[in-house]
Amino acid sequence: MMPNGYEMCWLDYKKHCDVDKNELSKWFSYICLFDPTDEFQVVKEELAIFVTDFLGFRPRFFKVFPKQGRHVLIGKLSDLPVEVNLDEQLSEEGFVLKYVKKQDAEFVIITGISAAGVLYGTFEFINRVRVGEDLRKLNVVSNPKIKLRFLNHWDNLDGTIERGYAGKSIFFSNNKILLNQRTKDYTRLIASIGINSVVINNVNVRHAALKLIEPAYLKRLSQLAQLFQRYGIKLFLSVSFASPIHLGGLDTADPLDERVKKWWKEKVKQIYDYIPNFGGFLIKADSEFNPGPHMYGRTQADGANMLAEALEPFGGLVIWRAFVYNCQQDWRDYKIDRAKAAYDIFKPLDGQFADNVAIQIKYGPMDFQIREPVSPLFGGMEKTNQILELQITQEYTGQQIHLCYLGTMWKEILDFDTFSKGNNSFVKRIIDGTLYGRKNNGIAGVANIGDDPNWTSHDLAQANLWTFGKLAWDPDEDVKKIVEEWIKLTFGDDELVVRNISYMLLNSREVYESYTTPFGLGWMVNPGHHYGPNPEGYEYSHWGTYHRANWEAIGVDRTSRGTGFTLQYHEPWRSIYDDIHKCPEELLLFFHRVPYNFKMKNGKTLLQNIYDLHFEGVEKVQEFIKLWDELEGKIDAVRFSRVKKKLQLQLEHAIEWRDVINTYFYRRTGIKDEKGRKIYP
């Protein structure tokens, strides 16, 4: 652990791969920095930390261009004293890493158009040095493909974190805003993976958080925003749609009411007086007891556009969530299907949202389950800016007790072809703006960090944060490569370490799925905190999340013959999902009501598959433990034993899942496991 009580994840420059430090030192003894407008303070700081921690001396920075020797050369493209030929055009936040030889001098160049670009380049350069890349071969042009790369923190002002599993908030404590070394290190950490937008407070805006946009908080927020800005990051806030009532003393928040509009305009102006580079608002409206325009008979577009108008003069954005559904459903009502809600509400509004509004859509139509189909809203709204919302925090995916690497799932989502404009209408091409040509698109991840010494509680959950950033930068990147780089930067490059941890990470999602709720079932968790098995925990509740298991079948018929959810997809998905024999089996129970004796592609019945997966899932966790044990001595003892403890708990809880779920089905059906394994009668 670092002296200040926490570790620096992949930015711990004392950890390194097998590299020749003497050779490397030659590049760093004379760093040329061209910084006429003094914008590269954080670049210098970062290099200083790196060279000191990694190579063991303090680097010096010079403005004079050397005629011989090896050097690192940094500056904006327009300020560099050497010409850099680019094979590809550079975008505002992009960077170049390039080896250039000029007479007797050799340079590795870090450059970009903006200070943010140069900073991203610096982090990438450091990573490459650490994994031992040959600097003389450097020739990289890298532009982020997705414009808005968001972290959403669900932090409350009292310091708790909604769905947080790694300690308390690093932003708030006792209704105060924290600004300390950790805030800075957080900023370094997320800038190093290319995040450029952060919402620091919970989407459920209650209590003191309502007042975050009041001067009492704005002053300190402006300091935070300044820190963020130095790292190329914009600060956003979640706000309540009913702020005019709570803060303005009005009797309404009706978006078409002139007093409401005026109040927001003045409020926004005040915010920008304090925070000139403020990013904008994130809004959870008409959702799970949060106020919104529906309360006044207005549409989601009326609500979003009213705020957009107030923010527009300052270049601010409205990030408006599509997570709108009836959370007061009667379980006896078989007609309402929660999965259909977002599309039903937002699709008719396509084309009505202002240009500085982006609709933030959860990846699936329900709520961050271990397996859901991709939301049909992607591919449903061609004239609207869209942001894909992912959950890095493992609410339904093991709460950072279970190992559940999410990069593989995210990759599937990004690669999903919506067919909205024919072949190759991938989600990643919607949110990178190329498919519909929209400007303000993005990706948002609900953060998984807290003030735990390792930030994420489970050490291997750091890989989720890392991967989120990497895929946000380039959704086409290979997940295996992303994982391997993370392992090398975090644990070093021992072959067995890389092999075993890669295997564990890359298989962990399927393993978690198998011993919890396979085939798109979801939801069999304990209500409220959402941890651990409870097959009927949500069955008779008002949340709209039912599987309706009886003695002979399970699942909801969401086909065109059932709730009609499949009709929200473009062909061929509509027909594929509609047909029980064509539907991808991993989503079978999401789309279909299926008898337990239904024969699956492997020749076994649905029920036997459910039994098998639960037994196999537990065995896989045992295998993970074995693989981890092989790394003893190759990983520092603290982290080795921390992960070991998590894996042991995972095993215990996986066994609980296996036995509860198998027993549930056995008791419902009376059908025995073909292999006669232990199930409780």
- Min dist CB 163 to ligand GCU, Å, is 5
CB of 92 or CB of 288, closer to ligand GCU = 288
Using CB under 6 A as the criterion, what x/- string covers residues 90-129 for binding ligand GCU? ----------------------------------------
Using CB under 6 A as the criterion, what x/- string covers residues 363-402 for binding ligand GCU? ----x---------------------------x-------
- Min dist CB 467 to ligand GCU, Å, is 21
Position 589 contacts ligand GCU (CB under 6 A):
no
Asked about 288 being catalytic, the answer comes back as: yes
- Min dist CB 549 to ligand GCU, Å, is 22
Please report, as residue ranges, which positions from 639 to 658 form the binding site for ligand GCU (by CB under 6 A): none
CB of 128 or CB of 371, closer to ligand GCU = 371
Cβ atoms < 10 Å from Cβ of 481: 10
Position 160 contacts ligand GCU (CB under 6 A):
no
CA distance 494 to 487: 10
DSSP string, 526-581: -TTT--SB-TTTTTTSSSS------SSEES---STTTT-GGGGSPTTHHHHHH-TT
Catalytic-labelled residue, pool 288, 333, 579, 636: 288
The answer to whether 303 and 217 have CB atoms below 8 angstroms apart is no
CB of 162 or CB of 309, closer to ligand GCU = 162
HSE of 155, CA atoms in CB hemisphere, 13 A: 30
The residue type of 584 is P
Residue 360: strand, helix, or coil: strand
Catalytic-labelled residue, pool 93, 395, 432, 484: 395
CB of 138 or CB of 285, closer to ligand GCU = 285
Cα angle 14, 18, 21 (rounded to 5 degrees) comes to: 70
Using CB under 6 A as the criterion, what x/- string covers residues 32-51 for binding ligand GCU? --------------------
CA distance 448 to 153: 8
Contacts within 8 Å (CB) and 24+ apart, 52-60: 53/12, 53/13, 53/14, 54/13, 54/14, 54/16, 54/21, 54/129, 54/130, 55/21, 55/24, 55/25, 55/28, 56/21, 57/25, 57/29, 59/28, 59/29, 59/31, 60/29, 60/30, 60/31
CB of 248 or CB of 450, closer to ligand GCU = 450
Position 323 contacts ligand GCU (CB under 6 A):
yes
Position 203 contacts ligand GCU (CB under 6 A):
yes
- Min dist CB 395 to ligand GCU, Å, is 6
CB of 3 or CB of 528, closer to ligand GCU = 528
CB of 168 or CB of 284, closer to ligand GCU = 284
CB of 152 or CB of 356, closer to ligand GCU = 152
CA distance 69 to 102: 10
User: What sections of 275-415 are H helices per DSSP?
Assistant: 300-311, 341-346, 407-414
CB of 292 or CB of 492, closer to ligand GCU = 292
- Min dist CB 250 to ligand GCU, Å, is 25
Question: Is residue 210 classed exposed, middle or buried when 0-12, 13-18 and 19+ CB atoms within 10 A define those classes?
Answer: middle
Please report, as residue ranges, which positions from 277 to 306 form the binding site for ligand GCU (by CB under 6 A): 284, 288
Position 162 contacts ligand GCU (CB under 6 A):
yes
Catalytic-labelled residue, pool 302, 367, 477, 510: 367
Asked about 367 being catalytic, the answer comes back as: yes
The residue type of 266 is E
- Min dist CB 286 to ligand GCU, Å, is 11
CA distance 650 to 654: 6
- Min dist CB 435 to ligand GCU, Å, is 25
Task: List Cα–Cα distances, 608 to 350, 512, 603, 613, 662, in angstroms.
Answer: 44, 18, 10, 9, 10
- Min dist CB 198 to ligand GCU, Å, is 17
**Helices 300-311 and 258-274: angle between axes, nearest 10 degrees:** 40
CB of 323 or CB of 624, closer to ligand GCU = 323
Q: The dihedral of CA 576, 582, 587, 592: what is its sign? A: positive
Please report, as residue ranges, which positions from 227 to 286 form the binding site for ligand GCU (by CB under 6 A): 284
Determine which residue in the list 52, 91, 175, 204 makes contact with ligand GCU, applying CB under 6 A.
204
Q: Which residues, 6+ apart, have CB-to-CB distance to 372 below 8 Å?
A: 363, 364, 365, 366, 520, 522, 587, 590
Residue in 616, 652, 371 with CA at minimum distance from that of residue 513: 371
Asked about 355 being catalytic, the answer comes back as: no
Number of residues counted as binding ligand GCU (CB under 6 A): 9
CA distance 663 to 657: 10
DSSP string, 653-675: HHHHHHHHHHHHHHHHH-PPPTT
- Min dist CB 389 to ligand GCU, Å, is 8
- Min dist CB 284 to ligand GCU, Å, is 5
Position 619 contacts ligand GCU (CB under 6 A):
no
Determine which residue in the list 163, 558, 614, 646 makes contact with ligand GCU, applying CB under 6 A.
163
Position 340 contacts ligand GCU (CB under 6 A):
no
CA distance 536 to 448: 27
Which residues contribute to the site for ligand GCU (CB under 6 A)?
162-163, 203-204, 284, 288, 323, 367, 395
The set of catalytic residues is: 288, 367, 395
